[in-house]
Amino acid sequence: MYVCMCHAVTEDQVKQAIDKGANSPRQIAQGCRAGTDCGSCVRRIQALLGEHGGRPCPTARLAAKLGLADPELNLPAEPLPQKLPAKVRRIA
**For 47-64, what is each residue's pLDDT tens digit?**
888 887 666 556 666 666
Segment 11-34, tens digit of pLDDT: 999 999 988 988 888 889 998 999
Half-sphere exposure of 69 (CA within 13 A, CB side): 20
Q: Does pTM surpass 0.75?
A: no
Share of the chain above pLDDT 90, in %: 22
Rounded Cα distance between 83 and 70, Å, is 26
Residue scoring higher pLDDT (92 or 44): 44
What sign for the dihedral angle of Cα 63, 69, 75, 81? positive
The helix or strand, by DSSP H or E, that contains position 3, with its residue range, turns out to be strand 2-4
For the packed helices 25-32 and 11-19, what is the interaxial angle rounded to 10 degrees? 110
The helix or strand, by DSSP H or E, that contains position 89, with its residue range, turns out to be none
Residue 58 has what pLDDT?
Answer: 62
